[in-house]
Each structure stands twice: as structure tokens, then as C-alpha cells.
Amino acid sequence: NAGVTQTPKFQVLKTGQSMTLQCAQDMNHEYMSWYRQDPGMGLRLIHYSVGAGITDQGEVPNGYNVSRSTTEDFPLRLLSAAPSQTSVYFCASRPLAGGRDTQYFGPGTRLTVL
Amino acid sequence: KQEVTQIPAALSVPEGENLVLNCSFTDSAIYNLQWFRQDPGKGLTSLLLIQSSQREQTSGRLNASLDKSSGRSTLYIAASQPGDSATYLCAVRSGGSNYKLTFGKGTLLTVNP
């Protein structure tokens, strides 16, 4: 049971480049989400999904796309990277039902956009 | 809009001291509140989750309380150890936004040997 895994751990991009941050979980959780963490800003929700084929926007979705084709995977795509997207990105998952919904976080991807 | 504030932003204590971290939130219509620990360069680890109907939760030397009506939670750490040094984050799941956690900015705790 690996929990929530993220790849890569570190990435440097040039402005305008595109890339995909990978996230996978092996706990059969319906709910998955992406956050970004910036100094002085705390963690902010980018996108989330409540199951395969269902995604929705969080509070800072601009410049990012997501899809959810399987329960396990929830990739985050940067369409045209900008320096403002330099951040640490965390993927999280939890069960959707039951209420006792501890969130499990991945180790993060540290992205620098030059 | 839910806002979460954590005080203090940083705290330095000698080993063995008992300490309290504070979290306040503006909208009392929460579903639950969760305390996380984050080590430098690492992800978040859940410490305690308190449902809105509960008053407190305990795990080892950690005790978290919740006063929903006043919009406050505290994390009590007993007999602190250098290994407790980390950033502690409070997050609330609001009743009006069932899928979003709103995070505070965290308290950076340093326990000195």
C-alpha cells in the first residue's frame, strides 16, 4: 500500500512549456484533489474530482487542466507554464462517504518556472 | 468565505514544555477540522480529525479541541520533544463547500534540546 504517490519530485520549466504532474493512489478513494502551496498563502485548492469522469474547479484553476479516467490516477496539466506557477504542488485523496474523511497527501512536486 | 487563522506563526520552546497551538475560523458551519504536520520539504501528515459534533480528539501526546460556536480549535502537545519540530497546519471542511479544505498558514514549531 503506497498511499498517494506523485511524480516528478522536482521540475524546472521554461515559460510557455507544458507538462503533466502525475498523481496516483492505491486506496480506492473516490475523492482526489490538487493543491498548491506558496509562502505566505497557505494551501489553495486547484481542482478536484469525486470519481472517474467527474472533475470540478477549486479556487485557483486558471492555467491548469485535469482529467480523471480511472479511480487511481489524477494528473494535473500545465498548459503554458508561467513564473506565477512556481510552487509546490500536492495531490490528496480521501474516501467520499462515511464522514470520517482523513485526507492523505502525497510528498509533493516542487516546480520552478523560469 | 471561510478563513482560517493560526496563531502564533512561529513558536520556539525548550524540550519538555507543554504547548498550545491555536486555530480560528470565521464560518462555524463546518463539517470537520483536521490538524496536519508538515516536515521541511515533505508532504502533509494527518494528526487528528475532529468531527463537528465532537469536542476533542486525542492521540498519544496530542490533544485537539474544538469549540465550533466560537470558531476555535487548539492543539495541545504535552512534553514536547525535538522530533516535534515541524509546521502544524489546521484545516476545516466547511458545510457549505463539501469538497474543499480551507487551510491556515501554519505554525512553525521549534523544540530546542
Closest CA to A60 of A82, A79, A85, A30: A85
Supply the pLDDT for residue A99: 58
Contact between residue A34 and residue A74 where contact means Cβ atoms under 8 Å apart: yes
pLDDT (mean) for B72-93: 96
Distance from CA of A58 to the nearest CA of B (A): 8
pLDDT for B34-77, tens place per residue?
999 999 988 999 999 999 899 999 999 999 999 999 999 999 99
pLDDT of A49 higher than 90: yes
Distance from CA of A5 to the nearest CA of B (A): 11
A31 CB near a chain B CB, below 8 Å? yes
> Beta B107-112 vs B86-94: how paired, if at all?
antiparallel
CB contact under 8 A, A45 and B49: no
Q: Which amino acid is at B92?
A: V
Best mutation site among A25, A35, A37, A43 for testing chain B: the one with the most B CBs within 10 Å?
A43
Which H or E element spans position B15? Answer: none
Nearest Cβ partner for B51 among A92, A99, A104: A99
For B60-98, b/e burial (b = at least 16 CB within 10 A) is eebbbbbebeebbbbbebeebeeebbbbbbbbbbbeebe
DSSP B16: T
